[in-house]
Amino acid sequence: MGKTFHKPEALSDQPTHYCPGCTHGVIHRLVAEVIDELGIRDRTVGIAPVGCAVMAYNYFTCDFQEAAHGRAPAMATGMKRVRPDLMVFTYQGDGDLASIGMGEIVHAANRGEKFTTIFVNNAVYGMTGGQMAPTTMPNQRTTTSPFGRNVAEVGMPIKVAELLAALQTPAYITRQTVIKPKYILKAKKAIRKAFEYQQEGKCFSLVEVVSTCPTNWGMTPLEAVNWAETTMLPYYPLGDLKTPESVNGGTDAK
């Protein structure tokens, strides 16, 4: 009988440190599968964030760098400009990318830097104790918003994919999730497409992945999946917000 399962070569044998029910491991596997399928492991460089995925360099077998908090896009820009033959991707959470790193990602996208960003949105700061993040949902309780996010005081959650899709230059912006198998297959297709666009030298690409954080949400893994589907997805709808084929006049469409 043939083998029905094997670990991607782009993933190491190192056990991950993620909490039970966390979806970082699923996303890692999808990225690794795409790297293997495209045959690019020997020329791929990932950039780890500050956050729950800070030790992502331990879990992949391709080259990896560690960036200062929020600065992964700047590091990716330097690498890709010096070595355009490399496949460069940043792997960032919502605190790293949408808070301290917001300026970095907006300007990298607006310049049309030819790297790929995997953006993990679980609506909370994970590593530092469950504080309110830029993506925290209205009325969502966190350690710094124990009565729920008060939008009258702190504003609405930031929709990163929509924000970047409004720029003229970036050409592939999509939002997916990995909370159930039916979504995971679509997420992998999106990640593969993002890497293929980079391979072709076409455009900046960002794949936002709506994810769970059972520990900091104070839920069981199953409750977290249900909450993400019923509460997060209506606010963060899935699908492609921008593709190279839909861009008219943007420099990346050429």
Q: Tell me which DSSP letter residue 145 carries.
A: B
Partnered with residue 94 across adjacent β-strands are none
User: How confident is residue 34, by pLDDT bands cut at 50, 70 and 90?
Assistant: very high
**For residue 179, what are the contacts with CB-CB under 8 A and spacing of at least 6?**
23, 210, 211, 212, 225, 228, 229
Q: Is the pLDDT of residue 253 over 60?
A: no
Domain boundaries, the chain: 24-253
User: How confident is residue 246, by pLDDT bands cut at 50, 70 and 90?
Assistant: confident
Q: Is the pLDDT of residue 254 over 50?
A: no
**For residue 119, what are the contacts with CB-CB under 8 A and spacing of at least 6?**
92, 93, 94, 97, 160, 161, 206, 207, 208, 209
The pTM (predicted TM-score) of the whole model is: 0.94
Nearest to 183 by CA among 35, 38, 20, 27: 27
| Percentage of residues of the chain with pLDDT beyond 70 | 96
Q: What is the mean pLDDT of residues 76-80?
A: 98
Tell which wins on pLDDT, 51 or 250. Answer: 51
Q: Is the pLDDT of residue 12 over 60?
A: yes
Under CATH, which number does the domain 24-253 receive?
Answer: 3.40.50.970
Rounded CA gap, 213 and 67, in Å? 23
H, E, C per residue of 99-122: HHCHHHHHHHHHHCCCCEEEEEEC
**What separation, in Å, do the N-terminal and C-terminal C-alpha atoms of the chain show?**
48
pLDDT digits (tens, 9 = 90+) for 121-172: 999 998 888 899 999 999 999 999 999 999 999 999 999 999 999 999 989 9
